Amino acid sequence: MKKIVLINGHPKKDSFTAALVGEYKRGALEAGAEVREIVVTDLPIERYLRYEHFTKQPVGEDILHAREDIAWAEHIVFVHPVWWAGMPALLKCFVDMVFSAGFAFRYTGKSPFPLKLLKGRTAHIITTLDTPPFVYRFLFGAPSVNQLKSRVLAFCGIAPTCVTYLGPIRSSTTEKRAQFLARVYLLGTRLQ
């Protein structure tokens, strides 16, 4: 049985992202996976936005619980919108706090290369866009995906990471959104 943690990175509870997470979860459960879910907007992440918190305050139970879920998982699925070519600030803050030194990686001695503490896990990034996906990927260089995939997940040992681009969302019809939901449900049934 595959253990999956879903991370909903949209700061709005009733977003299309939440519907996508629900469909992935439904598919994965039907395929026999164990699934846990982290809804970033439910966490009191705002308190971590000031640098002083990094140096003077221990992380809270919310971050520790998220780390437990990620340590438990074999597969991590991020679902988030792209805003200004990046991930929403709330998700970025979550990543900064959860995937930090000591949990996700550790430097040893004078080596510039860290130990990757999350090896053995895979990931999938499902991202929604208002830009056509081919424009975001090939003209803009997919900055949010590259940051998360290469600079965070691979840095911590999580590989391979698959990517699914869905868009444009803003101008999508009800039928097109139903197709996106069906596609994500199928990914869940395949445990990808």
pLDDT tens across the length of the chain (192 residues)? 899 999 999 999 999 999 999 999 999 999 999 999 999 999 988 777 776 655 566 788 999 999 999 999 999 999 999 999 999 999 999 999 999 989 999 999 888 889 999 999 999 999 999 999 999 999 999 999 999 999 999 999 999 999 999 999 999 999 999 999 999 999 999 998
pLDDT score at 2: 96
| Exposed e or buried b per residue across 118-137, where buried means at least 16 C-beta atoms within 10 angstroms of its C-beta | beebbbbbbbbbebebeebb
pLDDT score at 59: 81
pLDDT score at 170: 94
Domain count, the chain: 1
| Structural domain range at position 178 | 3-189
pLDDT score at 56: 60
Q: How do strand 3-8 and strand 34-39 relate by DSSP bridges?
A: parallel
pLDDT score at 52: 62
pLDDT score at 23: 98
pLDDT score at 90: 94
CATH number reported for the structural domain that contains residue 128 in this entry: 3.40.50.360
Among candidate residues 42, 10, 8, 43, the one with its CA nearest the CA of residue 25: 8
Among candidate residues 56, 72, 74, the one with its CA nearest the CA of residue 64: 72
